[in-house]
Amino acid sequence: MTSQRTRNRLVQRLRQSGIEDEQVLMVMANTPRHVFVDEALAHRAYEDTALPIGHGQTISQPYTVARMTEVLMQGGPLRKVLEIGTGSGYQTAVLSPLVDKVYSVERIAPLQKRAQQRLRQLQLRNISLKLSDGSWGWPEAGPFDGILAAAAPEVIPQALLDQLADGGRMVIPVGGEQQTLMLITRDGDNIERQALESVNFVPFLPGLLR
């Protein structure tokens, strides 16, 4: 269930669901999702579904990872990307081959530690991880050409808007019980917001869990 053939079937399902970016599809085919789930769930790693990773968190559905990555990359090559919510590290691993540098923050220490081990195992060397409240972003490393969030705030934190570079793109779910995936773009001082589709993410929570 962890073979390349199984991954290729997943990519075929992603194509049928509307993912068109061949570079994103190639990365999805080459990223071993089974590494990012508990061993007991490895047989389900290439189903197009979210799976639990502990601490009330999930590894996102592959379609969602591919869709958010595709939208983020549609503006052209990205040098620096900030990821809010490292979680299992799967989305981080998908971003790694597509951009120059990934900065990823996670508020739950045990998840961050496991993600760090997995990303090292895969020898992905253009990733920096930090234990941090996602609403703070990573100001000392910004501004960022791209920001991608794996949790839904009811209102986008101002710090994240401030850390988006001119011409940058942010892909983030927003809302409470009803959430919408949003594309935020910056043109100078002008912030544009585009609603993309309904989604269902864990809530964007404050504070650190050690």
Task: Tell me the longest C-alpha to C-alpha distance in the chain.
Answer: 49
Is 60 one of the annotated active-site residues of the chain?
yes
Handedness of CA 153, 77, 48, 195 (dihedral sign): positive
CA distance 80 to 45: 28
Residue of 3, 60, 88, 128 marked catalytic: 60
C-alpha to C-alpha distance for 14 and 66, rounded to whole angstroms: 8
C-alpha–C-alpha distance, residues 199 and 182, integer Å: 10
Query: Which residues are within 8 A (CB) of 117 and not within 5 positions of it... i.e. 6 or more apart?
Result: none
The residues carrying an active-site annotation are: 60
